[in-house]
A and B are shown apart, each in its own frame.
Chain A
Amino acid sequence: MSKNKEFVKFEKVDKSYDGKILVVKDLNLDISEGEFITMLGPSGSGKTTCLMMLAGFETPTSGEIYLDKNPISNIPPHKRGIGMVFQNYALFPHMTVYENLAFPLRVRKMPKDEADKKIDKALSMVSLSGFENRMPGQLSGGQQQRVAVARALVFDPSVVLMDEPLGALDKNLRESMQYEIKHIHESIGVTVVYVTHDQGEALTMSNRIAVFNDGKVQQLSSPDQLYEKPVNSFVAEFIGENNTFAGEISEISNDKCKVKIAGGEIIANPVSVKNKGDKTTVSIRPERALINSNSKMDNNFKGKIEEIIYHGDHTRVRLNLLGNSEFILKVPNSSENMDIKLGNHINIGWNSYDARALDPK
Chain B
Amino acid sequence: MSSETQKILTTDGIPLEESLKKAEKKNKIKAFLLVCPLLLFLIITYVFPIGDMLFRSVDDRMVTNMLPKTYKAMENWDGKELPEEEVFASFYQDYKLLIEQKTFGKLATQLNYEKNGFKSILKKLQRKMKKFEDGNYKEQIMDVHKRWANVEYWRAIKRRAPEISYAKYLKGMDLIADEDGKIIQVSEERRIHRILWLRTLEVAFFVTLFCFVMAYPIAHLLATLPMKYSNLLMICVLLPFWTSLLVRTASWMILLQQQGVVNDFFVWIGLVTDDNRPEMMYNKTGTYVAMTQILLPFMVLPLYSVMKTISPSLMRAGKSLGGTPFVAFWKVYFPLTIPGIGAGCLLVFILAIGYYITPALVGGASGTLISNQIAFHMKSTLDWSFASAMGLMLLVGVLAIYWVYNKLVGVDNIKLG
Which A residues contact B (CB, under 8 angstroms)? 55-57, 76-84, 86-88, 90-94, 103-104, 107-108, 151-152, 155
Most buried by B among A82, A92, A151: A92
Contact A103 B321 (CB under 8 A): yes
Chain A residue contacts of B318, Cβ below 8 A: 92, 103
Interface contact B336-A155, CB-CB below 8 Å: no
Best-buried of B316, B317, B318 by chain A (most CB within 10 Å): B317
Given known pairs A78-B328, A88-B313, A103-B331, the reply for A55 and B320 (CB within 8 Å) is yes
> B317–A81 contact, CB under 8 A?
no
The number of chain B residues touching the other chain, given as a range, is 10 to 19
- Give chain B residues whose Cβ lies under 8 Å from the Cβ of A82: 320
- On chain B, the residues within 8 Å of A57 by CB distance are 316, 319
Q: Judge whether A83 and B320 touch: CB under 8 Å.
A: yes
* Distance from A200 Cβ to chain B, minimum over Cβ atoms (Å): 25
Q: Tell me if B336 and A88 are in contact (CB < 8 A).
A: no
Which residue in chain A gives the minimum CB-CB distance to B333? A92
Instruction: Determine the distance from Cα of A152 to Cα of B319 in the docked complex, in whole angstroms.
Output: 12
| A92 touching B320, Cβ below 8 Å | no
Question: Are A107 and B322 in contact, CB atoms less than 8 angstroms apart?
Answer: yes
| Other contacts beyond A86-B313, A88-B311: 15, CB < 8 A | A57-B316, A57-B319, A77-B320, A78-B320, A78-B327, A86-B317, A90-B314, A90-B317, A92-B317, A92-B331, A103-B323, A104-B323, A107-B322, A107-B324, A151-B321
Q: Is B335 in contact with A84, judged by CB distance below 8 angstroms?
A: no
Judged by a CB distance under 8 angstroms, whether B325 is at the interface is: yes
B233 in the interface (beta carbon within 8 A): no
Q: Which residues of B sit under 8 angstroms from A55, Cβ to Cβ?
A: 316, 320
B361 proximal to A (CB < 8 A):
no
A77 touches B317 (CB 8 A): no
Q: Mark B237-273, 1 if CB is under 8 A from A, else 0.
A: 0000000000000000000000000000000000000
Beta-carbon contact of B314 and A107 below 8 Å: no
Taking the complex as formed, is B234 at the interface, i.e. its CB lies under 8 A from any CB of chain A? no
Min CB gap A213→B, angstroms: 25
> Smallest CB–CB gap between B320 and chain A, Å?
4
In the complex, A297 Cα to B328 Cα: how many Å? 64
A107 to B327, CA, bound (A): 8
Which residue of A78, A87, A93, A155 is within 8 Å of B319 (Cβ)? A78
Choice from A87, A92, A104, A155 contacting B314 with Cβ under 8 Å:
A92
Give Cα A88–Cα B309 distance, bound, in whole angstroms. Answer: 13
Residues of B within 8 A of A83 (CB): 320-321
Inter-chain contact A90/B311, CB cutoff 8 Å? yes
A149 to chain B, nearest CB (A): 13
| Interface pair A84/B311, CB less than 8 Å apart | no
A81 near B322 with CB under 8 A, answer yes
Residue in A closest to B323 when the chains form the complex, CB atoms: A107
A sample of 29 cross-chain residue pairs with beta-carbon separation below 8 angstroms, ordered by A number, consists of A55-B316, A55-B320, A57-B319, A77-B319, A78-B322, A78-B323, A78-B327, A78-B328, A79-B322, A80-B320, A83-B320, A84-B320, A86-B317, A90-B313, A90-B314, A92-B318, A92-B331, A93-B336, A94-B336, A103-B318, A104-B321, A104-B323, A107-B321, A107-B322, A107-B323, A107-B324, A107-B327, A108-B322, A155-B322
Closest 5 CB pairs of A and B: A104-B321, A90-B317, A84-B320, A90-B313, A77-B319
Q: How far, in whole Å, are A81 and B319 apart by their CA atoms in the complex?
A: 10
- What CA separation (Å) do A76 and B318 show in the bound complex? 13
Residue in A closest to B320 when the chains form the complex, CB atoms: A84
Whether a CB of chain A sits under 8 angstroms from the CB of B375 is no
CA A258 – CA B314 in complex, angstroms? 57
Please give, as numbers and ranges, the residues of chain A lying within 8 Å of B321 by CB-CB distance.
78, 83, 103-104, 107, 151-152, 155
B144 at the interface (CB under 8 A from A): no
Q: Give the residue name and chain of the B residue nearest to A103 (CB).
A: B321
Bound-state Cα–Cα, A86 to B319, Å: 13
Question: Which residues of A are found within 8 Å of B316, using beta-carbon distances?
Answer: 55, 57, 77, 84, 86, 90
- The answer to whether B335 touches A78 (Cβ under 8 A) is no
Binary CB contact string for chain B from 289 to 321 against chain A (1 if under 8 A, 0 otherwise): 000000000000000000000010110111111
CA distance A55 to B332 in the complex (A): 19
Q: Which of A55, A76, A78, A83 is packed against the most chain B CB atoms within 10 Å?
A: A78
State the Cβ distance, A17 to closest chain B Cβ, in Å.
Answer: 11
Taken together as a complex, chains A and B put the C-alpha atoms of A76 and B323 apart, in Å, by 11
Task: Give chain B residues whose Cβ lies under 8 Å from the Cβ of A90.
Answer: 311, 313-314, 316-317
- Given the interface pairs A92-B332, A93-B336, A94-B336, the reply to whether A104 lies near B313 with Cβ below 8 Å is no
| Interfacial chain B residues near A80, Cβ < 8 Å | 320
Name the distance in Å between A317's Cβ and chain B's nearest Cβ: 46
The reply to whether A84 and B317 form a contact with Cβ atoms under 8 Å apart is: yes
Complex Cα distance, B323 from A217, in Å, reads 32
Contacts of B325 in A (CB 8 A): 76, 78
- Please measure, in the bound complex, the distance between the C-alpha atom of A108 and the C-alpha atom of B327, giving whole angstroms: 12
- In the complex, what's the smallest C-beta–C-beta distance from A52 to chain B, in angstroms? 8
Q: Residues of A contacting B317 with CB < 8 Å?
A: 84, 86, 90-92
* B311 surroundings in chain A (CB, below 8 A): 88, 90
Determine if A78 and B313 form an interchain contact, defined as CB atoms under 8 angstroms apart. no
Beta-carbon nearest neighbor of B331 in chain A: A103
A67 nearest CB across to chain B (Å) = 14
Of A77, A79, A80, most B-chain CB atoms within 10 Å: A77
Chain A residues with Cβ below 8 Å from B314 are 90, 92
Roughly how many angstroms separate A155 CA and B317 CA in the complex, as a whole number? 13
Docked Cα-Cα span, A152 to B318, in Å, equals: 11
| Residue from the set B311, B321, B324 with the largest chain A CB neighbour count within 10 Å | B321
> Which residues of B have CB within 8 Å of A88?
311, 313
A84 surroundings in chain B (CB, below 8 A) = 316-317, 320
Residues of chain B lying within 8 A (CB to CB) of residue A92 = 314, 317-318, 331-332
What residues of chain B lie closer than 8 Å to A76, measured between beta carbons? 319, 325
CB-CB nearest in chain A for B338: A94
**Complex CA–CA separation, A223 to B321 (angstroms):** 31
Docked Cα-Cα span, A87 to B311, in Å, equals: 12
Q: How far is the CB of B326 from chain A (nearest CB, A)?
A: 10
Q: Which residue of B lies closest to A163 (CB)?
A: B313
Docked Cα-Cα span, A56 to B315, in Å, equals: 13
B324 to chain A, nearest CB (A): 6
The complex places the Cα of A94 from the Cα of B317 at a distance, in Å, of: 14
Cα(A82)–Cα(B316), bound, Å? 12
- Kindly state the separation between the CA atoms of A91 and B321 in the bound complex, as whole angstroms: 11
Q: Would you list which residues of chain B between 64 and 100 have a CB under 8 Å from chain A? A: none
Q: Which residues does chain B contribute within 8 Å of A155, judged by CB atoms?
A: 321-322
Q: Tell me the complex Cα distance, A43–B341, Å.
A: 37
